[in-house]
Amino acid sequence: MKKFINSILPFFLKIGSNNYLTAIRDGLSFTVPFTIVGSLFLIVGNFPIIAWTNFIKPYTPMLNSVVNVSFGMLGLISAIGIGYSLAKNFKIELLSNTIITTIAFLLATVDNKFQISVANLSATGMFTAILVAVLTTVVSRFVVAHNLTIKLPDSVPPAVAQSFNSLTPAALVLLIVWLIRVVLQINVNDILQRVFQPLIFGLNTIPGLLVYTFIALALWLIGVHGPNLLAGIVTPIFLSNIAANIKAFQAGQTVPYDVADGFWTLFQNIGGSGCTIGLVLAMLVARSKMYRDLGRLSIGPAIFCINEPVIFGFPIVMNPIMAIPFVATPMILGAMTIVFMRLGWVGRIVTEVPWTTPPIIGPYLATNGSIGAAIWSACTIVISYALYFPFFKILDRKQSAAEATEEKNNAPASASVVSGKGATE
38-56 pLDDT, tens digit per residue, is 988 988 888 878 888 889 8
Q: What is the mean pLDDT of residues 334-343?
A: 97
Look at 237-246, 308-317, 392-401 and tell me which has the smallest mean pLDDT: 308-317
* Band of residue 341 on the pLDDT scale cut at 50, 70, 90: very high
**Confidence class for position 419, pLDDT limits 50, 70, 90:** very low
Cα separation, 330 vs 162, in Å, equals: 50
**231 with 256, same domain?**
yes
Interval 93-102 mean pLDDT: 94
Tally of domains within the chain: 2
Number of Cα atoms under 13 Å in the Cβ half of residue 174: 13
Specify whether 289 is located in the same domain as 252: yes
Both 228 and 169 in one domain: the answer is: no
Q: For 342-372, write each residue's pLDDT tens digit.
A: 999 999 999 999 888 999 999 999 999 999 9
Looking at the chain, the whole-number percentage of residues with pLDDT higher than 90 is 58
Residues 330 and 373 in one domain: yes
Query: Does 265 share its domain with 306?
Result: yes
Residue 410 lies in a domain: no
Q: Are 281 and 160 in contact (CB under 8 A)?
A: no
The Cα 83–Cα 103 span in angstroms is 11
- End-to-end alpha-carbon separation of the chain, Å? 58
Asked whether residue 340 is domain-assigned, the answer is: yes
Residue 322 lies in a domain: yes
Claim to verify: residue 235 and residue 330 sit in the same structural domain: yes
Least confident interval from 14-18, 210-214, 228-232: 14-18
Same domain for 270 and 302, yes or no, is yes
pLDDT at residue 9 tops 60: no
Average predicted confidence (pLDDT) for the chain = 88
pLDDT at residue 418 greater than cutoff 50: no
Could you list the residue range(s) of the whole structural domain that residue 236 is in? 206-405
Is 260 found in the same domain as 146? no
In a domain, 32, yes or no: yes
Q: Are residues 160 and 223 in the same domain?
A: no
DSSP 29: G
pLDDT for residue 193 = 79
Question: Are 310 and 401 within one domain?
Answer: yes
Phi, psi of 293 (to 5 degrees): -65, -40
Q: What pLDDT does 417 receive?
A: 47
Contact 100, 163 (CB under 8 A): no
pLDDT of residue 425: 35
Residue 3 pLDDT exceeds 80: no
Q: pLDDT per residue over 120-169, tens digit each? A: 998 888 899 999 999 999 999 999 888 887 776 666 666 666 677 788 89
In a domain? residue 311: yes
420 falls within a domain: no
What is the rounded distance in angstroms from the CA atom of residue 267 to the CA atom of residue 261?
A: 11
Centre a 10 Å sphere on the Cβ of residue 57 and count the other Cβ atoms it contains: 11
Question: What is the C-alpha separation between 400 and 265, in angstroms, rounded?
Answer: 32
Q: Do 185 and 210 share a domain, yes or no?
A: no
The rounded distance, in Å, linking the Cα atoms of 366 and 346 is 11
Q: Which residues contact 373 (CB under 8 A, 6 or more apart)?
A: 346, 347, 363, 364, 366, 367
